[in-house]
Structure formats: C-alpha cells, structure tokens
Amino acid sequence: MKTFAFIVTLLVSSAAAAQVLPSWNDGAAKQGIVEFVKAVTAKGGKELVRPADSIAVFDNDGTLWSEQPLYFQFVFMLDQVKASGGPMPDPHDQKALLAAMGKATSGMTVAEYDRKIRDWLAKERHPKFKRPYTDLVYKPMQELLAYLRANGFKTFIVSGGSVEFMRPWAEKAYGIPPEQVVGSSGKIKYEMTAGRPALMRLAEVDFIDDGAGKPVGILRHIGRRPIFAFGNSDGDLEMLQWTAAGAGARFCLFVHHDDAKREWAYDRDSKIGRLDKELDEAKVHGWTVTSMKDDWKTVYVGAR
C-alpha cells in the first residue's frame, strides 16, 4: 500500500508540475515565480510565510489586461461625458477627464453607475481586436493568480483605475472578489430619499490610487505589506519599492510590453503605461522583467 501511495503521489506531483502556469514559457520569469512560491511555502523552510501574510498585489491596466490605445476605463468615461453633452476633454489629460466625468455622473446612485458599466462592457468592442474588452485579459496572469491562491496567497488588485469600474467583472475574470479590489474612487454621499437609502456619486475625486498613492491604498485597504507585487509601468514603481523594502522574502516583477505582433510594444516614450524609471530601478534591485514576447505562450483569454 505504501509503495502504491508513493507512486500515486509521484505521478500526481509530476503531472501538477507540468500543469503549473501552462501559458508561460520556461524561462527566468516563470522559474523565478515558481522558486519564490516554493521558498515561502516550504514547511520548515527559512523563508516560510504564513498564508495570512502571503499578500500578492497586481496592477490592472497593462498588467492583467491590455491598456492600448487608451485605458479602457478612459474610453468608458469619454463615452459618459459624450452622452451627458459635456465638452470633451483631452483623453490624455487625466485631471480634465476626471473633472468632466465627475460632472457627467454626479447625482447618479452607485447602483445606476454600476449598471452603466456593466451595460457598456457587455456592448462595446475593442477598436483593434473587435472583441469585448474583457477578452483582453491576459491568460498567463489569470493562471498566475490561480496558482498563487492555490498556494495560500491572497490576491489583490491595486490599480489606478476606479474600484467601481473593476469590481463588476474582476471576480469572473481574475477570481478576485470586490473586497480585494483596491483602486481610485470619487466622493460618495449617503442619502435617504422617500424612506429609501441610496449612495450618491459626487463630482469630487476622493483618492487616486496611482504612483505614491499605491502604498497608501495598500496600507488603508489591506493593512499588511505585500510579499509579491506585479506591475507594468512607472505608476507601479512605489508599490514595488514598498513591497521590496519589507523584511524577509519578497518578489517584484513587471510586464514588459514588447510584443507588437500579438499585443503592443511600448515603454519609455508611451503616453499610456509609460515604463521608464521602473526599467532602470528593476536593474538596480533585481526585479524580474516579464517579456510578453518571450515569456508568454498565449496572450489573451479570448481565443485568437
């Protein structure tokens, strides 16, 4: 019986090894991830981290799904401003866009706004791929999230995007529930109207969860320092710095968009998802670069 059980264990674990991150090519990125996870989960190991502290944070735009030719949420926002008849802001001027959006949607309940987002995502198609935006979720990242959770990690999104825009689909796309989505937010007011309570959107921005705001968002919302952080642009730099500066084993990496054929190729000069300082800091700190072109067998969850 013992021998039999041993053989079964061997078979199961070798099958499991083959199945780990199947959309990732063998290479430094995949190897680094798997070795880190082994190190922090090895019983009795020097770098063991208890599951409660195994916090993994992921940027969203450009890290978990595409962000070109314009952040998908910005396309949604421009559509809302247009529908409201307001003057159209420069889509690359975030401040102007947020102000216009505040005007266009203030006085709406959060339930009405949620409905608008769901309807928009169901109906709209990406201009280049002619597919629903949620088809442009990265398959290798979906696998990575599941792999981390299977190893006791708790996975969070920490994004410059708004919580309202991500929560309706993050659970299905990433297995990440609403309460594990950290993001930007506008001010909200509780109101009782005709005996029915409602949460109303106000025009002002409340919090921008980007750049130096990311460690603040992490502190507020999660209250523990992550041990694993994955980004793709300079907006993630402080999140990676904050993660890396913790005691004990930490793992930081980012997606390098170098795949003009299957996705896009951009970094230091891009208006969207600029990756410049982070490329330099990665070398200094030994953060792992994930090359979309070389490290990923498949890019999208939507078959292509």
Name the site residues for its own copies (rule: CB under 8 A).
52, 55, 110, 154, 156, 163, 167, 171, 177-181, 185, 188-190, 192, 196-197, 199, 212-213, 215-216, 219-224, 238, 241-242, 245
Of 156 and 254, the one with the shorter C-beta distance to its own copies is 156
Q: Closest Cα to residue 56, out of 145, 122, 136? A: 145
Of 89 and 215, the one with the shorter C-beta distance to its own copies is 215
**Which three-class secondary structure state does DSSP give residue 13?**
helix
Least distance CB 214 / its own copies (angstroms): 8
Per DSSP, the chain holds a count of helices (H) and strands (E) of 11, 7
Least distance CB 242 / its own copies (angstroms): 5
Of 67 and 210, the one with the shorter C-beta distance to its own copies is 210
With beta carbons less than 8 A apart as the criterion, state whether 85 and 185 touch: no
Least distance CB 102 / its own copies (angstroms): 16
> What one-letter code names the amino acid at 118?
R
Q: Closest Cα to residue 140, out of 65, 240, 60? A: 65
Phi-psi region of 175 (alpha: psi -120 to 50; beta: other; left: phi over 0): left
Of 185 and 298, the one with the shorter C-beta distance to its own copies is 185
Least distance CB 79 / its own copies (angstroms): 23
Sign of the Cα torsion 191, 197, 203, 206 reads positive
First-to-last C-alpha distance (Å) of the chain = 47
Of 58 and 156, the one with the shorter C-beta distance to its own copies is 156
Least distance CB 113 / its own copies (angstroms): 11
